[in-house]
Amino acid sequence: MKFFMKTTPDVSRPPTPPSPELMADMGRFVEESFRNGTLVATGAMDPRTKRIEHRGGQFTITDGPFTEAKEAVVGWAIVNADSVEQAIELSKRFWAIVGDGQGTIQRIYDPGEMPPQFTERAS
């Protein structure tokens, strides 16, 4: 299974640059995770966005950002895990390194797989 993990900003405190120690710890964690196959990809997000909309054969492009600051994505990772519980444990390791914060974990379905909401029948 693959999971999309994202971190969102803590709007109760101003952002601060990471310390060299934090960067070293995170570098070791990322390297280990790539090496053992749990980390597929990771990165930071630019708050400047573009929205593309298609209606009736016409495209509209709008400059963003579009979310409230507290909902913005700061960083992200795609991980391989055998279960949601294992994905949660990976996330806990990340938060143990970076400190306080919040984020989400969301399952990614591969092509051909259908999310449960499309396969469950209403009774």
Return the higher-pLDDT residue of 24 and 114: 24
Contacts for 50-59: CB closer than 8 Å, 24+ residues apart: none
CA distance 23 to 64: 29
Return the higher-pLDDT residue of 48 and 71: 48
123 pLDDT tier (thresholds 50, 70, 90): very low
67 pLDDT tier (thresholds 50, 70, 90): low
Tokens linked to 95: 């938060």
- The CATH homologous superfamily to which domain 2-119 belongs is Dimeric alpha+beta barrel (3.30.70.1060)
pTM: predicted TM-score of the whole model, two decimal places: 0.77
- The values of phi and psi at residue 69, to 5°, are -55, -40
Residue 52 scores a pLDDT above 50: yes
Domain ranges, ordered by start, for the chain:
2-119
Residue 18 scores a pLDDT above 90: no
